[in-house]
Structure formats: C-alpha cells, structure tokens
Amino acid sequence: MEKYKADFIEFLLSSGAFKPLNEGPYKLKSGRMSPHFIDMGRFDDGDGSKKLGEFYAEAILHSVGAEKFDLIFGPPYKGITLAVTTSIALANRGVNKGYSFNRKEEKIHGEATGAGKNKEEIHKKMIVGHKIENGSRVVLIDDVFTTGDTKYEAVQVLNSVADNVKIQAGMIAVDRQEINEDGEAAIEQFVKDTNIPFFAVIKTSDIIDYLYETKKLSPTDESALKRYLRAWGTKEAREKYGLGKERLIEGRTVIPACDVDSIERLEEIVKATADMKKIGGYKIGLELSLYYGLPRLVEVVKNNAPDKKFIYDHQKGATDIPDLGAKFAKVCKKSGVDAVILFPQSGPRTQVAWTGECLQQDLFVLVGGKMTHPKYALSEGGNIDDKKIIEMYQRAARQGVNHFVVPGNQPDNIKLFKEVIEKEGIDSILFAPGFVEQGGKIADATKVAGDHWHAIVGRAITEAKNIRAAAEEMTSKL
C-alpha cells in the first residue's frame, strides 16, 4: 500500500473521523446499517483542512499526474473548500494550479450585470475562482460519491462555460465500494456514462487491509466489514476477498418442499430422510411457519437432521417495500434459518434492499423470477414482463447472489436463466421446483442445470405412504 494511503488512514483514525468499529453499526443515509463510518465533517478547522488537502494533493499527483491538468474544480458545497485546500497543498509541492467552483445561484451583480446566455457570460454568472478556458484540463474534486448527481451536474456546468473542457479525472476521499439502492455501482456507472476516470484517496478495502496488517482489526470486526461488502459491495470489492463463492449445498440433491399441514408430518418427513446423502435440506413455506413459528420448525429440522439446510420460502419474499427487508432478515436469522427464497417482483429497490439485508445477516439468498405455473409471464398471457423477469436474475447476479430458483418443468428457461446469470460472471447454483405433479422431469433438468443444482420436490415425497422410498426414487433421477 502506498505510504500516503496508510498515512491517510492513520489520520482518519487519530482525528476521530473514522468511527470506532466496536461502537457501530452506524445507520447511513441510505438506511443501511454499516459497521464503519467516516465523518468527513470532522475537518472543520485549519489544521484538519490543511492535512486533508495534502492527502488529496498527493493522491491527485499519484493518480493523475501534475502535467495532465490545469485546475481543480470543486462543486458546492463540500467541494469548494476541498478545491482551495488541495490547490494550496499542490502549490506547497511546487505544482501551482488554479481552483474554481460554481455558484448554486447565478450572480446578477458586478461583472455579471447584464450578462446574457453565451458561454463567456454564463461563466461570469456561475463560476468563482480561476477562469475556465476553452480546452481547460480539469480535475473534479469532492468529498464522497453517493448517487453521482453532483458530479453529473458539475460536468454540465463545466461544459456550459467553455468549449472542449477536458475533465481528466475525479477524486474523492473514500470510496465505500458499494452499490446504490438500485443495485448499480454509482462510480462505475459514472465512468461508463462520461468516460471520466474516478479515483479515491483510499477505498474501504484499503482500510480493511491496513487495519489487518497493523493488527488493529479483530476477527469480529473483520467479519462485520466483509459481511457488509458481501451484502452491498461492488463486484471489485467482493472479488478481492472472494466473497459470495460459498455454496449452500454441494453437488446435486433433492430438497423436499414440506408444504404440509402439521409439524408432526414435517418431523416424519425429516426423520425418514435425514441420513440420505442426496437429500440436501428442507424447504418450509408459509402454512407451517405462520401456524407454528419459524424457531420451532427450525428446531424440529435441526434436532433430527443437524447436517441438512433449512430453506424458508416466504411465498413470495421481497414483494413489499424496501424497508421491510431488514426486519425479515433479522427474524429469519434469529430463528436459525439457513437460506431464504426471494421473488422480488416489487422492483429494483426492494430487490436490492431485501437481498442485501439477508446477505448481511449471513443468510444464503435464493432469487427467483420465473414461476412454474402457466400464464405467469406476459408472453404466456400473464402479468409479469418477460424482460423484467430476466432483469431480476441479472440484478441478483450483479449483487453477488449465486443461488437461484428456476422452473424445473421448463428446461429451455433453465438454460436461458443459467446463461443470463453466467454472463454476469457468476457460477450459478440452481434450485428447481415443478417436478412430477407439474410435469417436470428431473432427468431433463439435469441435462441443462449443471453439476450444482437441486430439485425441489413436493407432494411426490411429502404425500407418499413410504416417504423414504419416494425420496430414494427422486434422488435416483439426479
């Protein structure tokens, strides 16, 4: 790690800007509960601002280079003081660059009196500081990057006051390396939209690495930080630490869908199949859960089959408002559930929120989009747009989900969704219902599902007179 990055992290720690991990979690503006929080508002005096400018200057020189830009531009309001202090810090290093910023409201007096609408006149109305010339090479500077709205506005301002302005790069203090509420990595999207590279003095991964190397990171805190990145982190952050590679169940198995009407029948099913290697776990739905409660059902399964997984199917989870995701996840975690099934039909923000909250609680998340019954998709005469179904799988994969529910009685769709998921760089693990009673054949699904997939089988096992014999027949078809 570069020295200036390590020094900046120490600066954040010593100044109190980096809030102690053991005092978290901290509620962010997004509503997420983060184990770490950096308060850039701490730097409200001369000494703190001076040092902050020095770190920005060092990062700009390292990432951009002194010869590649002419001035620093800071959008209001945090960017204004950062532009000034960074410009001074650069001058102290022998690199004299101008700084400027824009007004929130147009100036209507002094040199702007009577100004019209050409770029020169707009400049007089809108820009304070160093003149932005045609062809000026600019570094855009701000404190954080959340949605990117301020940065997009800054690009528009710069292009409105001069021709051929070249924004060489953007710079912020800390890149939290997380996705926004729509599941997009905001910085990556900005770079893609504008072709402007964006840098940070440090990233969250730098903080983790530095604290680990200096033995200032306890195993508990390390786990919390990585769990947060697992839930909300960008692809870059997840891949750095190998997050999201775990499998709920190895190989190919059958999962009995225990949609039965009594806890006694559930226990009978579990006892009959607990020692079968090709039974991977049990899917429990609403009927039992509403009547008996999740904790009691988990106890029944774990007491009789401690090595099997308890998969809770909320039928259909994540079809409510985003805020309920945290409550749902906490209840499932406290109850001892291993994995949850979500069919996020309420839109991107609900999907991202519920998925992230469950992942942060260390639950495995199985995301589905296409159901097994007729007239579900719009193309079949149903209500759900086919493109939106595909987007549910894509969005889940981009958030790092690697477990998915696909319709076992539709081999063509199994193949389609598997390809869609894997285009996002995810090795998919599929769970498929829709067999026997709904016409699907396990052998047909096996041909397209791959080496790691699991057949969800209901009545053919749960209503059989000889549960074990029925389970053995189903597992023999894998």
Write out the DSSP string of 224-260: HHHHHHHHHB-HHHHHHTTTT---SS-SEEEEEB---
Q: Which residue in 104, 109, 117, 465 is the catalytic one?
A: 109
- pLDDT of the chain, 478 residues: tens digit per residue: 899 999 999 999 999 888 878 787 888 888 889 998 888 888 888 999 999 999 999 999 999 999 999 999 999 988 999 999 999 999 999 999 999 999 876 644 344 434 557 888 888 888 888 999 999 999 999 988 877 888 899 999 999 999 999 999 999 999 999 998 888 888 988 999 999 999 999 999 999 999 999 999 999 999 999 999 999 999 999 999 999 999 999 999 999 999 999 999 999 999 999 999 999 999 999 999 999 999 999 999 999 999 999 999 998 888 899 999 999 999 999 999 999 999 999 999 999 999 999 999 999 999 999 999 999 999 999 999 999 999 999 999 999 999 999 999 999 999 999 999 999 999 999 999 999 888 899 999 999 998 899 999 999 999 999 999 999 999 999 9
DSSP 27-42: E-TTS-EES--B-GGG
Q: What is the pLDDT of residue 111?
A: 45
| Domain 252-475: assigned CATH number | 3.20.20.70
Q: Give Cα separations from 284 to 192, 436, 447, 457, 465 (angstroms).
A: 43, 19, 27, 12, 20
Say how far apart CA 340 and CA 364 lie, in whole Å. Answer: 6
Residue (of 403, 393, 347, 348) closest to 180 by Cα position: 348
| Longest CA span, the chain | 92
Q: Which residue in 50, 107, 415, 477 is the catalytic one?
A: 107
- Locate 293 and state its tokens: 């409660």
Q: How many CB atoms lie within 10 A of CB 387?
A: 10
Task: Classify residue 407 as exposed, middle or buried by CB count within 10 Å of its CB (0-12, 13-18, 19+).
Answer: buried
Q: Edge-to-edge, what's the strand order for the sheet holding 429-432?
A: 252-256, 453-457, 429-432, 403-405, 364-368, 339-342, 309-317, 281-284
List Cβ neighbours of 416 (8 Å cut-off, separation of 6 or more): 390
Q: What is the pLDDT of residue 88?
A: 96
Q: Give Cα separations from 467 to 193, 232, 384 (angstroms).
A: 57, 41, 36
Domain boundaries, given as residue ranges, for the chain: 3-240, 252-475
Q: What is the pLDDT of residue 129?
A: 87
Residue 109 designated active-site: yes
pTM of the model: 0.90
Quote the DSSP letter at residue 463. Answer: T
Beta bridge partners of 309: 281
Helix (H, G, I), strand (E, B) or coil at 402: coil
Given the structure tokens 């050409």, which residue do they identify? 118
Task: CATH number for 3-240: choose from 3.40.50.2020, 3.40.250.10, 2.30.40.10, 3.40.225.10.
Answer: 3.40.50.2020
Q: What is the pLDDT of residue 108?
A: 40
Residue 130 designated active-site: no
Number of H helices, E strands in the chain: 19, 16
